Amino acid sequence: MSRPVGGFALVLHSHLPWLPHHGTWPVGEEWLYQAWAHSYLPVVDLLRLLADEGRRDVLTLGVTPVLAAQLDDPYALRGMHDWLGNWNLRAQYAAVRWQNSDARLRDVAAAEYRASAAALTEFEERWLHGFSPVLRPLVDGGVVELIGGPATHPFQPLLDPRVREFALRAGLADTALRIGHRPVGIWAPECGYAPGMETGYAAAGVGRFLVDGPALHGDTAFARTVGDSDVVCFGRDLDVTYRVWSPKAGYPGDPAYRDFHTYDHPSGLKPSRVTGRQVEPQDKKPYEAALAADAVERHARDFVDTVVRRLTDLRALHGRPGLVVAAYDTELYGHWWHEGPAWLEAVLRALPDAGVEVTTLRGAIEAGYVAGRVDLPASSWGSGKDWRVWDGAQVADLVDAGAALQRDLLDLVGTIPAAVGRDAVLDQAAREALLALSSDWAFMVTKDSAADYARRRAKVHGERYAELASLLRAGARDRAWARATELRDEDGLFGNLDARALRTNE
């Protein structure tokens, strides 16, 4: 094979906040099951297909510990099985409802029936024992590089360093228990970074992480060591990444693709195509799979051409092959963008034929796509590329509550004598605190996306923490134990979490 024009690393970030037992529709468990059915199942199926063809280092897959906990949770697994069966029934209902309607609607119902039946079979044959047994062979076989992160996806720059270390180590340890590999790389939640965080990463055994392109002033052609550490950062190449999805445009907005927002409410299916940005839902045209397939082919070709042009320019600029890192939420592929998995397969097959070396972050380092050191500024991948989404005026109350909660948690842990062994009540208090500190709540409030739900979730977990802390301080051990047991039935993720790691007096 001739020398590649350069390297391409696709990074997928799989994440949802903890949802089991916390509401169903429209936000809550429904969110989990939709993403599971329409993104996680088809993306894993594609990875297994490529693995069977002998492909390795296909992409870097980020799975947050809080999502992995849900995908392995018995309650969520039962709920998902029920949801898939219901999807199949809804498709059958739509077929009857539309039997005398436009032939395109009948095609939608038939396609939904086939897709739901296939998903149900796939789930029953491979997923009934959870995600970890499905993911582990892909990691062991080198098909994907698995990267992790802090336990509940908190915005790390706003954490006390001790809480930050606790959340990160807990997340890495949980992934190691599930998959048998402790991740060396992480997707820092929201790509949030504060100067000096690389020191904590190095201490926790993290060797590489993601930042957004502007943190590197757009110079994303190579990985770079951060500060005086050996920790390496990779920057998202926004010129390429935004071809797919940006705050303003991207492939999923093509008129031929399925419209995410337009429902047929009696069946719960989405029978329309985008049609046009200014077209009202009732005026959107029925979905046509053939039109969408043509758009997938066109957009895959455009993306590959964009990557090749970018790498050609980088090689001319630097005198050697460079790297493109394109990073997205996994949920874009299938959930938000119905045709996303098909586009993903087309791109991953076409890039090598175009002379591009498809690799992982680990593979990129091994291939030498590394340059010198860099001092990173405070940054994120949110609006403005700063921290405003998570510490702006709209969420000042959440920020203040989170800071107070952290101070109280550290004080509470410090009051427990060192001689005392592991305490299930204290562990549950720490669990509730971490759930209250999830970055999702501030994001949803700032973006006005189910903001009431987000505020309620932050409040509920904060109050649950405070209740347990109060009982512990009062010495009401029996009441504290009973209440912690009740709460663990709902918020029982991270069973190996040990709050003693937060102690500051040892």
pLDDT at 392 over 50: yes
Residue 27 burial (CB count, 10 A): 17
**Inter-residue contact 236 to 212 (CB < 8 Å):** yes
pLDDT classification of 415: cutoffs 50, 70, 90:
confident
Write down the pLDDT at residue 397: 98
In terms of DSSP bridges, do strands 223-226 and 232-235 run parallel, antiparallel, or are they unpaired?
antiparallel
pLDDT classification of 417: cutoffs 50, 70, 90:
confident
| Residue partners of 197: CB distance under 8 A and separation at least 6 | 156, 157, 164, 188
User: Fold identical between 6-256+297-374 and 392-502?
Assistant: no
3 state SS for 142-191: CCEEEEECCCCCECHHHCCHHHHHHHHHHHHHHHHHHHCCCCCEECCHHH
Q: What is the CATH number of domain 392-502?
A: 1.20.1430.10
Q: Tell me the per-residue pLDDT of 30-55, one tens digit each, with 9 for 90 and over.
A: 999 999 999 999 999 999 999 999 99
| Mean pLDDT along residues 267-293 | 96
Q: Tell me the per-residue pLDDT of 104-122, one tens digit each, with 9 for 90 and over.
A: 999 999 999 999 999 999 9
| Mean pLDDT along residues 66-80 | 98
pLDDT classification of 416: cutoffs 50, 70, 90:
confident
Which residues are part of the catalytic machinery? 190, 329
Annotated domain spans of the chain = 6-256+297-374, 392-502
Q: Tell me the per-residue pLDDT of 126-136, one tens digit each, with 9 for 90 and over.
A: 999 999 999 99
Share of the chain above pLDDT 70, in %: 99
Buried b (16+ CB within 10 A) or exposed e, 406-427: bebbbebbeebeeeeeebebbb
Question: Residue 391 CA to chain centroid, in angstroms?
Answer: 21
Write down the pLDDT at residue 132: 98
**171 phi and psi angles, rounded to 5 deg:** -65, -45
pTM of the complete model:
0.96
> Which of the listed CATH numbers 1.10.3720.10, 3.30.1280.10, 3.20.110.10, 3.40.640.10 matches domain 6-256+297-374?
3.20.110.10
Going by C-alpha positions, the residue among 112, 120, 117, 115 that lies closest to residue 96 is 112
